[in-house]
A and B are shown apart, each in its own frame.
Chain A
């Protein structure tokens, strides 16, 4: 026996195996990723699946993950958005062959009127390309500045503003008959 007490064998600091690194990464970022994922996909199960796929990507590319909380988070967010972009593109291909596009389920419960309004918003969001939708979500719902969004996604502030503008315009056009929205600006 080497006599080490159990406590000293606990991975307390700087885990270096992929398993320990992923565990640490998961604990630090899963809540934030779920919040974003949930606002990008129709159901909670879809969001969990998207978060899982994001971490599995991380598991397959441990050398690509930067160090430091903020950089880790930005990397994971980019991976998550890119996965959703890939899925969205594939679903577009499928939809072209469908005679009927399935409606997004959206959140349940509440009054019928609220449900209709929410479903309309959800359907409108579903029509946005994932990156644009992510930019809208991060800016409008999470309250990130344009520069923050640009930094997280690794794109320029000009690109973010362009997506915001297009996204707001698209949403306003789609939602106007339902809830009478206006394309508000900063």
Chain B
């Protein structure tokens, strides 16, 4: 007679199947992080049932980016900020514009076409950052913006995408998967800075 342990082991799906791909794992991770980011931005409303279907939708993808808080103070003081997302490259090529990333030594080469801008933002908000008194910005694109973002980023995987505020590149995440409706701009912002930027993103660009 066969022991149960051996029977179970022989039938163990982990012995016969491939593990989830890296892309599947990344998508899962992004959904989880997006959910948490959303909760960060909605203190006191974390148990709303409506959150569940919203969280599991694959359209919501978080883009966790490491940004410096190299925002020019002058632009932060403005009531409105010009928000742009452009595809970028690490190497120069004809037609691309070299832009320095914040005050770092890194230079990226941005495409002339703007993927999304202020008009494509449905809402934006401030969420808790990764350290006390540091805050990130949660950006939600409208349907048209999300579609433009998906189409543009689907063929740009493994390459950088530049987030520009008032013409300055403030974040250059490398795309691991296509970006959809949601992005989290993580950085070292004070609450006041993050609030000004988030509020300034909505509406027409200055």
Residues of A within 8 A of B67 (CB): 6, 9
Is A44 positioned at the interface, with any CB of B under 8 Å from its CB? Answer: yes
Residues of B within 8 A of A153 (CB): none
Is A103 positioned at the interface, with any CB of B under 8 Å from its CB? Answer: no
Instruction: Tell me if B1 and A180 are in contact (CB < 8 A).
Output: yes
Give 1 or 0 for each of B59-97: 1 = CB within 8 Å of chain A CB.
Answer: 000101011111111000000000000000000000000
Is B32 positioned at the interface, with any CB of A under 8 Å from its CB? Answer: yes
Instruction: Tell me if B102 and A1 are in contact (CB < 8 A).
Output: yes
Chain B CB count within 10 A is highest, among A30, A109, A137, for A30
Instruction: Tell me if A6 and B106 are in contact (CB < 8 A).
Output: yes
Residues of A within 8 A of B69 (CB): 1-2, 4, 9
Residues of A within 8 A of B127 (CB): 17, 19
Q: Of B37, B47, B70, B187, which contacts A3 at CB under 8 A?
A: B70
The verdict on A19 contacting B37 (CB below 8 Å), with A39-B13, A121-B11 known, is yes
Instruction: Tell me if A107 and B1 are in contact (CB < 8 A).
Output: no
Residues of B within 8 A of A155 (CB): none
* Interface secondary structure of B, over-half rule: mixed
Q: How far is the CA of A136 from the CA of B5 in the complex (A)?
A: 9
Instruction: Tell me if A10 and B128 are in contact (CB < 8 A).
Output: no
Residues of A within 8 A of B9 (CB): 140-141
Residue of A nearest to B73 (CB): A1
Residues of A within 8 A of B16 (CB): 107-110, 118
Q: How far is the CA of A100 from the CA of B136 in the complex (A)?
A: 51
Q: How far is the CA of A7 from the CA of B78 in the complex (A)?
A: 27
Q: How far is the CA of A15 from the CA of B130 in the complex (A)?
A: 5
Q: How far is the CA of A19 from the CA of B67 in the complex (A)?
A: 15
Residues of A within 8 A of B33 (CB): 19, 22-23, 26
* Interface secondary structure of A, over-half rule: helix
Instruction: Tell me if A26 and B102 are in contact (CB < 8 A).
Output: no
Looking at the complex, which of B17-25, B109-117, B156-164, B195-203 is the stretch in contact with chain A?
B17-25
Instruction: Tell me if B184 and A5 are in contact (CB < 8 A).
Output: no
A179 to chain B, nearest CB (A): 6
A58 to chain B, nearest CB (A): 8
Residues of A within 8 Å of B, CB-based: how many? Answer: 60
Residues of B within 8 A of A125 (CB): 8
Q: How far is the CA of A175 from the CA of B3 in the complex (A)?
A: 11
Chain B CB count within 10 A is highest, among A2, A117, A172, for A2
Instruction: Tell me if A30 and B28 are in contact (CB < 8 A).
Output: yes
Instruction: Tell me if A183 and B68 are in contact (CB < 8 A).
Output: no
Give 1 or 0 for each of B22-42: 1 = CB within 8 Å of chain A CB.
Answer: 001100110111111101100
Is B52 positioned at the interface, with any CB of A under 8 Å from its CB? Answer: yes
Residues of B within 8 A of A175 (CB): 4, 7
Q: Of A51, A118, A168, which contacts B10 at CB under 8 A?
A: A118
The verdict on A1 contacting B51 (CB below 8 Å), with A9-B66, A11-B186 known, is no
B175 to chain A, nearest CB (A): 17
Residue of A nearest to B17 (CB): A107
Is B131 positioned at the interface, with any CB of A under 8 Å from its CB? Answer: yes
10 contacting pairs across A/B (C-beta < 8 A): A9-B68, A16-B130, A17-B36, A18-B40, A23-B32, A59-B32, A60-B51, A117-B7, A180-B1, A184-B4
Seen from chain B, the residues whose Cβ lies within 8 Å of a Cβ on chain A are 1-5, 7-14, 16-17, 19-20, 24-25, 28-29, 31-37, 39-40, 46-47, 51-52, 55-56, 62, 64, 66-73, 101-104, 106, 127-132, 136, 184, 186-188
The 3 A-B residue pairs with the shortest CB-CB distance in the complex, in nearest-first order: A121-B11, A182-B1, A11-B130
Given A17-B37, A55-B35, A141-B9, 6 new contacts (CB under 8 A):
A2-B70, A11-B130, A17-B136, A18-B39, A26-B33, A55-B32
